[in-house]
């Protein structure tokens, strides 16, 4: 990898030299320009307030990253480790939600410089400057998606006072560290649906900002900035703090304008905006990078998902969309937050298990004239020549190819891991997802499934601080068997035409293992094999029996009010197969989920085990999903880059477009 990077740099240096540019001198100059590192990269934007509020703010994050820092001391230790590996000069960008209050409950409008003394001392000891942001999200008073534009004057007043407090804290940081502290204001305020009034929220934002910035502070200590965004999750139709609004505000009020490289449409270039805005502003603030599944900008991903969705509909997918009722979504999201759950809202188009076959058959028919399919032919190895991919060997024959896209699916994850090992490519361990499939009466989940169809809920357990999530919710569906390379696990299906009286979903515990552990797939198979050994396949157990420390028997199952949809499951005891930690996490998740959907934690609820997701090995790739071996791409669940049908399809499109572009296709 290092060798290929150095070769690429040499080629770039020659090209720049042709235009009279010295890249070595530029790199030397860059080494002395401090880059401000965002604190939230250490804990997935969680902070240390423990308000109980969901992240919100349209953030593409859950706050549940396994192994995240849980205290300011842990985050500072993680930052030290990161900074030791990152070249150049740095600053720290801190959010208000990372205050050190010693466990005391201090609301945001009451924050003071004293709550950040440890951070200031840490930065001073490392010769670093700091930047500081107010936090206008993840708070009960931001739960409706509005802060400085809220129609309630008392709510606006709270957030104005929070902004004022943060400016004073930033000034204290700048004075203590001898370097001006940038205080950047970004708010999530906007509408999912097209509003009738576009002017009112912006008038309120203008007036709120004027009040927030009213106190004169020394520019040698604090520099004020405002940041725009194209749109966000939950604010797709209207964003109060648009680029046009903040450009006008910055020019008229003498504030710094923040341009975030991930906050614009991909057809817009930051370079164009820099040259335009600097004609009217003395300086600007740049945010570079972004999240968006680590591969593409948010708007590009939205376009790709829409393209995949259109393709599914073209070949027979149902036209009904779930998750568009903004009032219902807001109500469920609030109830989830009160239960300590994070609801990730997404629009769902349910195809149906049997309908998927029709969609795939339509796709296959369309492609038959364009592609040669070799079904039931196992690929023995990926071929390499002169340091590049050269094709594959399959079924005893060699097939030459200038580009190869590996998309083996979850069942092929172990095969791909073996290929990567043989090719000496870099890989990392994704979290290992192991858990159970829960089955309840359909009526229990109807308050969620009628509006959302599938509820994606995340929970951090109080016992072990592990992440547990719901996955693949199947309203009126059935539990089914899955077989993976000699082991049997469970899954769920929902059908377009066939309905049962039950709803099932998975509860998965995500565990991040560290070195020297390198076999997440083998670990998952081992846990599944224990259940297979005990249950001659999979085990089913009543929740009441599990809590009572006894195995379920056919007689006890017959006393239940719920008829299991998987008749092949053997009544037994899951505590002999699943680790104690996983069981405790699942039981705590069920208790929290019962607050959102009463009846989930009932003694008659059925648990099937085990369910394992085999996408724990992630191949290191670039943003085009190209691996360290030139022209070899790895996509889909089996490569560990996605977790679901639509995302897997999108990853295939990303790789295919990259290949077309490399091959010089006009319409790549």
pLDDT tens digits, 506-551: 999 987 776 677 677 788 889 999 999 998 889 999 999 999 999 9
pLDDT averaged over the chain?
Answer: 86
pLDDT for residue 6? 81
pLDDT at 49 over 70: yes
- Whether the per-residue pLDDT at 354 is higher than 80: the answer is no
At residue 200, the 3 state secondary structure works out as: helix
* 180, two tokens: 């001006």
Largest interatomic CA distance in the chain:
84
Q: 99 pLDDT exceeds 80?
A: yes
The answer to whether 150 and 206 have CB atoms below 8 angstroms apart is no
Average pLDDT over residues 602-630: 85
Residue 667 has pLDDT above 50, yes or no: no
pTM as predicted: 0.56
Please report which confidence band the pLDDT of residue 656 belongs to, taking 50, 70 and 90 as the band edges.
very high
For residues 546 and 575, what is the distance between their CA atoms, to the nearest angstrom?
8
The secondary element (H helix, E strand) that includes residue 363 is: helix 353-368
Pairing of strands 606-613, 432-441: antiparallel
- What is the predicted pLDDT for the residue at 109? 95
473 neighbors 455 (Cβ within 8 angstroms): yes
Token pair, residue 147, equals: 């802060």
pLDDT band for 272, please (50, 70, 90 cuts).
Answer: confident
**What are the pLDDT digits (tens) for 474-490?**
999 999 999 877 899 99
- pLDDT at residue 289, as a whole number: 45
With 0-12 / 13-18 / 19 or more C-beta atoms within 10 angstroms meaning exposed / middle / buried, residue 51 is middle
CB 108 within 8 A of CB 96: yes
* Closest C-alpha to 118, from 136, 134, 137, 94: 94
pLDDT of residue 488: 93
DSSP 488: E
613 contacts: CB under 8 Å, gap ≥ 6? 410, 433, 471, 508, 524, 637, 643
Percent of the chain predicted with pLDDT > 90: 47
Other beta carbons within 10 Å of 469: 22
Residue 2: is its pLDDT beyond 70? no
Please report which confidence band the pLDDT of residue 182 belongs to, taking 50, 70 and 90 as the band edges: very high
- Please answer whether residues 192 and 236 qualify as being in contact, where contact means their C-beta atoms are separated by less than 8 angstroms: yes
DSSP state of 296: S
Beta carbons within 8 Å of 318's beta carbon, 6+ residues apart: 349, 350, 351, 352, 355, 496
The CA-atom distances, in angstroms, between 131 and each of 25, 88, 164, 312 are: 27, 17, 15, 46
Residue 555's contacts (CB-CB under 8 Å, 6 or more residues apart) are none
The domains located in the chain, with CATH, are 1-30 (no CATH), 34-290 (3.20.20.150), 337-350+432-613 (no CATH), 356-428+620-663 (3.50.50.60)
Angstrom distance (rounded) from CA 538 to CA 536: 7
3-state percent helix, strand, coil for the chain, nearest multiple of 5: 40, 20, 40
Mean predicted confidence (pLDDT) in 594-602: 97
> Which of 646, 630, 627 lies closest to 417, judged by CA?
627
**CA–CA dist 241, 221 (Å, integer):** 26
Instruction: Please check the confidence at residue 630 and state whether its pLDDT lies above 90.
Output: yes
pLDDT digits (tens, 9 = 90+) for 561-587: 999 999 999 999 999 999 999 999 999
Alpha-carbon torsion, ordered 570, 573, 577, 580, to 10 deg = 150
User: Residue 437 — left, alpha, or beta (φ > 0 → left; ψ -120 to 50 → alpha)?
Assistant: beta
Q: How many CB atoms lie within 10 A of CB 560?
A: 18
Say how far apart CA 661 and CA 668 lie, in whole Å: 5
CB 273 within 8 A of CB 227: no
Mean pLDDT, range 68-90, rounded to an integer: 86
Number of DSSP helices (H) and strands (E) in the chain, helices first: 18, 26
Q: What does the DSSP assignment read for 12-58?
A: HHHHHHTTT--HHHHHHHHTTSPEEEEGGGGTTS--S--------TT
What are the C-alpha distances in Å from 1 to residues 107, 295, 385, 427, 428?
A: 47, 19, 16, 12, 15
What pLDDT, on a 0 to 100 scale, did the predictor assign at position 448? 93
pLDDT for 183 equals 95
Give 261's contacts (C-beta < 8 A, 6+ positions apart): 270, 286, 287, 288, 289, 290
Residues whose CB is less than 8 angstroms from the CB of residue 247 and which lie 6 or more positions away in sequence, other chains included = 228, 257, 277
Cα–Cα dist 304/301, whole Å: 5
Q: Mean pLDDT over residues 242-251, rounded?
A: 93
Average pLDDT over residues 191-209: 94
pLDDT tens for each residue of 357-393: 888 899 999 999 899 999 889 999 999 999 999 999 9
Q: Quick one: tokens of 407? A: 């998309």
569's CB contacts (< 8 A; 6+ apart) are 479, 490, 535, 537, 538, 539, 540, 608
Burial 132-162 (b: 16+ CB within 10 A, else e): bbbbbbbbebbbbbbbbbbeeeebbebbbbb
CA-based nearest residue to 41, from 75, 81, 70? 75
Buried-exposed string 261-299: b where 16+ CB fall within 10 A, e elsewhere:
ebbbeeeeebeebeeebeeeeeebbebeebeeeebbbbb
Q: What is the DSSP letter of 461?
A: -
In the chain, what percentage of residues exceed pLDDT 70?
91
SS3 string of 615-664? CCEEECECCCCEECCCCEEECCHHHCCCCCHHHHHHHHHHHHHHHHHHHC
Q: Reduced to 3 states, what is the DSSP secondary structure of residue 396?
A: coil
Q: Judge whether residue 665 has pLDDT over 60.
A: no
Do 210 and 186 meet the contact criterion of CB atoms below 8 Å apart?
Answer: no
CA distance 83 to 388: 33
Tell me the C-alpha distance between 455 and 597, whole Å. Answer: 11
């Amino acid at each position: 990898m290092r060798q290929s990077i150095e070769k690429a740099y040499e080629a770039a240096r020659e090209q720049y030299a042709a235009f009279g540019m010295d890249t070595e001198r530029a790199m030397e100059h860059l080494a002395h320009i401090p880059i401000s590192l965002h604190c939230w990269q250490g804990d997935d934007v969680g902070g240390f307030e423990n308000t109980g509020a969901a992240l919100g703010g349209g953030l593409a994050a859950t706050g549940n990253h396994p192994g995240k820092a849980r205290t300011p001391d842990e985050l500072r230790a993680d930052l030290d480790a990161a900074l030791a590996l990152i070249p150049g000069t740095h600053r720290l960008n801190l959010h208000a939600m990372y205050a050190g209050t010693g466990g005391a409950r201090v609301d945001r409008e009451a924050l003071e410089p004293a709550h950040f003394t440890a951070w200031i001392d840490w930065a001073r000891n490392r010769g670093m400057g700091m930047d500081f942001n107010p936090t206008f999200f993840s708070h009960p008073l931001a739960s409706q998606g509005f802060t400085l534009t809220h129609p309630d004057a008392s709510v606006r007043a709270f957030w104005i006072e929070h902004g004022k407090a943060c400016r004073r804290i930033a000034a204290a940081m700048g004075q203590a560290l001898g370097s001006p502290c940038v205080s950047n204001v970004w708010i999530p305020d906007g509408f999912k649906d097209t509003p009738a009034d576009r002017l009112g929220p912006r008038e309120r934002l203008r007036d709120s900002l004027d009040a927030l910035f009213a106190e004169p502070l020394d520019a040698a200590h604090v520099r004020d900035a405002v940041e725009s965004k194209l749109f966000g999750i939950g604010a797709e139709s209207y964003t109060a703090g648009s680029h046009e609004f903040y450009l006008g505000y910055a020019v008229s009020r003498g504030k710094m304008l923040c341009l975030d490289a991930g906050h614009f449409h991909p057809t817009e270039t930051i370079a164009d905006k820099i040259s335009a805005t600097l004609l009217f502003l003395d300086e600007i603030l740049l945010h570079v990078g972004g999240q968006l599944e680590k591969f593409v900008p948010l708007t590009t991903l939205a376009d790709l998902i829409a393209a995949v969705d259109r393709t599914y509909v073209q070949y027979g997918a149902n036209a009904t969309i779930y998750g568009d009722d903004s009032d219902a979504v807001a109500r469920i999201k609030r109830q989830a937050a009160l239960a300590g759950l994070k609801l990730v809202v997404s629009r769902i188009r349910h195809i149906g298990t049997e309908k998927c076959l029709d969609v795939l058959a339509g796709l296959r028919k369309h492609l038959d004239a364009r592609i040669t399919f070799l079904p039931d032919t196992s690929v023995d190895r990926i071929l390499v020549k002169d340091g590049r991919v050269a094709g594959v060997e399959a079924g005893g024959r060699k097939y030459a190819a200038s580009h190869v896209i590996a998309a083996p699916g979850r069942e092929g994850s172990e095969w791909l891991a073996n290929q990567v090992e043989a090719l000496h490519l870099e890989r990392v361990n994704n979290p290992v997802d192991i858990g159970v499939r829960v089955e309840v009466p359909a009526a229990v989940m109807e308050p969620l499934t009628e509006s959302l169809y599938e509820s994606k809920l995340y929970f951090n357990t109080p016992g072990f601080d592990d992440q547990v999530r719901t996955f693949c919710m199947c309203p009126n569906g059935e539990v089914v068997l899955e077989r993976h390379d000699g082991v049997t696990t469970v899954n769920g299906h929902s059908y377009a035409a066939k309905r049962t009286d039950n709803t099932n979903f998975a509860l998965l515990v995500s565990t991040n293992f560290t070195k020297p552990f390198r076999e997440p797939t083998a670990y998952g198979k081992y846990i599944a094999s224990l259940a297979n050994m005990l249950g001659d396949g999979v085990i089913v157990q009543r929740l009441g029996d599990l809590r009572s420390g006894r195995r379920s028997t056919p007689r006890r199952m017959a006393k239940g009010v719920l008829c299991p949809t998987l008749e092949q499951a053997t009544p037994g005891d899951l505590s002999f197969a699943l680790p104690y930690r996983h069981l405790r996490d699942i039981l705590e998740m069920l208790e929290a989920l019962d607050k959102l959907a009463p009846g989930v934690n009932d003694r008659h609820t059925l648990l099937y085990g085990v369910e394992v997701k085999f996408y724990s090995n992630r191949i290191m790739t670039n943003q085009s999903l190209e691996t360290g071996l030139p022209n070899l791409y790895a996509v889909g669940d089996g490569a560990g880059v996605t977790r679901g049908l639509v995302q897997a399809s999108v990853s295939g499109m990303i790789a295919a477009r990259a290949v077309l572009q490399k091959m010089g296709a006009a319409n790549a």
